[in-house]
Structure 1
Amino acid sequence: MDWVPVVFITFKVIVFGTCMFYAIKWHHDQGKKAKEEARLRQEAAERAPGAGTHV
């Protein structure tokens, strides 16, 4: 029975480590996606007719 805690703790560490990796990766990817969308919106606004014209 001494192996049971070792197996369960090892399994728990592997599962939590994997979940944390994918959670961090997902948040990082969402930040990159938001920055890219903001950059594309900015470029579209700069290319829009009448944008940046001064009287």
Structure 2
Amino acid sequence: MDISWANFFPLVFFPFKIIVLGIGMFFAIKWHHDEAKRRAAEAAEQ
């Protein structure tokens, strides 16, 4: 059986991609949520 990097690439790349995109989505949602809270607080001050 020929074991090469091409056999293991999907096993490493796809979970890594899902983790990186998941972290990116978490911080994107968090930033938008915090931005909305900040704008609501500014609107309440005025």
User: TM-score of the superposition, structure 2-length normalised?
Assistant: 0.82
Larger helix proportion of the pair? 2
Task: Tell me which stretches of 4 or more aligned residues in structure 1 moved more than 2 Å.
Answer: none
Gaps in structure 1 of 5+ consecutive residues: 42-55
RMSD: 0.8
User: 1:9 aligned to 9, 14, 17, which one?
Assistant: 14
Which structure carries more relative contact order (alpha carbon 8 Å, separation 6+)? 1
Q: Number of residue pairs matched?
A: 41
Matches within 5 A, 1:33-44: 33-41=38-46
Q: Give % identity.
A: 49
Gaps in structure 2 of 5+ consecutive residues: 1-5
Query: Which structure would you say has the larger Rg?
Result: 1
